[in-house]
Structure 1
Amino acid sequence: MLKKRSVTLRGHATSLALEPEFWSVIDAELNETGGSLAGLITSIDELREPDQPLSSACRVWALNRALTVDQG
């Protein structure tokens, strides 16, 4: 089941729905770095391809982080 969170990106409120497993990777990053959800999602948003949905970009980011942590 998807979990939805609200975030403000560049002054615009939006919501992002991801599976709990992806949120747990994002939360781990925020706990480790002390960063904010809005800051992380903004950086993911800035790096994604123009036609890539934000939720997809967040899933790919979380997968890459999980793979990096598992290998490191």
Structure 2
Amino acid sequence: MAMRKIYRELAKKYGVPVKEIQRDMQAAIEMAWHACPADGVTSAYQRRVPSKSTVPSVEEFICYASGQAVKRV
């Protein structure tokens, strides 16, 4: 499913603009990246997520997470 469609479906479901969905999802990822324990385990898992910067975009994170889910099925 395309990211654009995911955003639209969530926006419709919750009655908010698509931009708000995108902003909130990115904020959640950033909070998870910065508010995690400073142990080596967490940062090792974070480094496994391919990203153009230190914090992955929503698209990068969803692509990685969905790929991991498919591997486990």
TM-score normalised to structure 1 length: 0.36
Larger strand fraction of residues: 1
Bigger CA radius of gyration: 2
Q: Which has the higher helix share?
A: 2
Normalised by the length of structure 2, the TM-score is 0.36
